[in-house]
Homo-oligomer: A and B are copies of this chain.
Amino acid sequence: MAAESRGGVVVRGVGMGGTPRPSDRASIRRTNLGLVLRLLRDAGPRSRARIAADTGLPRPTVTNLVAELVELRLVREGDSQREGAVGRPGVSVEIDGRSICGLGLEINADYISAVAQSLRGDRVFERRIPLDVRAAGPEAVLDMTAELIRGADAAVAAAGARLVGAGLGAPGHVDIITGHVRYAPNIGWRDVSALDGLRGRLGRAAPVLHLENDAKLGAVAEYVIASAAGIHDLISVTGDLGVGGGIISGGRLMRGARGFAGEIGHMQLAPGGRLCNCGRRGCWETMVGLGALLRHAADPGDPVHDASLDVASRLAELRGRAEAGDTRTLAALDHIADGLCLGIALLADVLNPRAVVLGGYFPVFADQLLDRVREGVARRVMAPDAGGCEILPSSLGLAAVARGGAQLALDSVYEDPSAAVV
């Protein structure tokens, strides 16, 4: 309908309201830089003349814009090519995919991690440091995160590339404008100014920093994969002790009015049901979170309940039992599958996604869960054929959030290339 950015100026629907942004010279230049960069990304290498024809921008303007993008090391000159039957061949311009990297960072309850990857998708740096984040406290965690950024920056430089920005994922409620983690109960953070804290530690070496909720970055990472298959509407559902969600609608991450969209773990699907950590009863995460699986699968004394053991090994143990045909484990997984059907069908009715991607602990039990979930969702959704919604297991494991952060950093360069200034 209305609000989006287009062409030489940023326009918003006014038939549908909205406030036009001022179109001063600098903002027009920024917008046009993005226009050219996205054209090269989406339509491939081409000559300056062709860029002018494709964008409708004057040829001298295109020459200036390309020069600036080359200076920013976002594009480079390629081979000469003859595009038409006549005229002299033009020098082709292309995205400089190898030399531009985005950095993704995750602050998780159990670790901090970083992934740097280039525009071509090469992973230049990857590190995960196990850490009791709640016990360490924000200052120590930000110290270590700053150190990770320094290490990633050095690795990127050593690979002959350049870091254009970093996207940090944190759990809970985050303020993406100010860069504060507002309230993250499972790491015990409240009103931590994460981005300013990192900028203070890194000084002039700080990259352009973005903050986002971890589950939303997980959705962004899933979308990189899904979009290659033509999927532009998806919901990512991450099963952990909590259940997180991220919604991609028409190729865009849905944030809502204040950035709180995607709080799917607390959909109240069984009013009067089990008490949730949030203080309400019958939230979806009491039905399908990791706690529910463990509760159904084993008595309290069973080692799978031992939180001092690595969660991956406890999940492997349960998976082994399921594969051996243990009836209690299989019944527990059926419980989880039925709970997933209830929530996924509701989300599919409301949002009509093309795919729901199950991440976190769910993919570990893909063999036991998926068929039952697919069948149940198809039966429950109002639209025929579940509205075309596929249920897919995530393949990203623990790297999902950091990879989404790297993608966020790279994407924001396409929106505003001038922000990639060294």
- The 0/1 profile, CB within 8 Å of B marked 1, for residues 368-395 of chain A is 0000000000001011100111000000
A88 at the interface (CB under 8 A from B): no
A5 at the interface (CB under 8 A from B): yes
Counting chain B CB atoms within 10 Å of each CB, the highest count among A58, A250, A389 belongs to A250
Chain B residues lying within 8 Å of A7, measured Cβ to Cβ, are 6-8, 31-32, 35, 55-56
A72 at the interface (CB under 8 A from B): no
Q: Could you tell me the distance between the alpha carbons of A2 and B257 in the complex, rounded to whole angstroms?
A: 19
| CB nearest neighbor in B for A8 | B56
A252 at the interface (CB under 8 A from B): yes
Do A224 and B42 have beta carbons less than 8 Å apart?
no
Chain B residues lying within 8 Å of A317, measured Cβ to Cβ, are none
Least CB distance, A241 to chain B, in whole angstroms:
16
Total identical chains: 2
Chain B residues lying within 8 Å of A55, measured Cβ to Cβ, are 7-9
Known: A43-B20, A220-B1, A350-B262. A8 touches B57 (CB 8 A): yes
Known: A1-B220, A263-B382. A17 touches B232 (CB 8 A): yes
Do B56 and A252 have beta carbons less than 8 Å apart?
no
Least CB distance, A142 to chain B, in whole angstroms:
24
Do B352 and A258 have beta carbons less than 8 Å apart?
yes
Least CB distance, A95 to chain B, in whole angstroms:
9
Do B252 and A250 have beta carbons less than 8 Å apart?
yes
Least CB distance, A185 to chain B, in whole angstroms:
11
Do B352 and A257 have beta carbons less than 8 Å apart?
yes
Chain B residues lying within 8 Å of A347, measured Cβ to Cβ, are 350
| CB nearest neighbor in B for A37 | B11
Q: Could you tell me the distance between the alpha carbons of A51 and B405 in the complex, rounded to whole angstroms?
A: 38
Do A268 and B1 have beta carbons less than 8 Å apart?
no
Do B224 and A16 have beta carbons less than 8 Å apart?
yes
Do B266 and A269 have beta carbons less than 8 Å apart?
no
Do A42 and B278 have beta carbons less than 8 Å apart?
no
Among B4, B232, B260, B407, the residue within 8 A (CB) of A382 is B260
Do A342 and B268 have beta carbons less than 8 Å apart?
yes
Among B41, B43, B259, B380, the residue within 8 A (CB) of A352 is B259
A334 at the interface (CB under 8 A from B): no
Known: A9-B39, A13-B411, A35-B7. A19 touches B350 (CB 8 A): no
Q: Could you tell me the distance between the alpha carbons of A42 and B4 in the complex, rounded to whole angstroms?
A: 12
A193 at the interface (CB under 8 A from B): no
Chain B residues lying within 8 Å of A14, measured Cβ to Cβ, are 41-42
Least CB distance, A168 to chain B, in whole angstroms:
17
Counting chain B CB atoms within 10 Å of each CB, the highest count among A224, A233, A248, A249 belongs to A249
Known: A32-B56, A223-B1. A380 touches B268 (CB 8 A): yes
Known: A7-B35, A55-B7. A411 touches B261 (CB 8 A): no
A305 at the interface (CB under 8 A from B): no
Q: Could you tell me the distance between the alpha carbons of A343 and B5 in the complex, rounded to whole angstroms?
A: 33
Q: Could you tell me the distance between the alpha carbons of A230 and B266 in the complex, rounded to whole angstroms?
A: 28
Q: Which A residues form the contact surface with B (CB < 8 A)?
A: 1-9, 11-20, 23, 28, 31-32, 35, 38-39, 41-43, 54-58, 61, 119, 173, 220, 223-224, 226-233, 245, 247-264, 266-271, 278, 280, 342, 345-347, 349-354, 380, 382-384, 387-389, 407, 410-411, 414
Can you identify 10 A-B contacts, CB atoms within 8 angstroms? A3-B252, A6-B38, A15-B41, A18-B42, A18-B251, A260-B383, A268-B342, A268-B346, A268-B380, A269-B271
Beyond A13-B411, A258-B352: 16 further Cβ-contacts under 8 Å? Answer: A3-B251, A8-B55, A9-B43, A11-B43, A13-B251, A13-B414, A15-B119, A23-B54, A56-B61, A58-B58, A249-B256, A258-B387, A260-B349, A261-B351, A278-B382, A346-B346
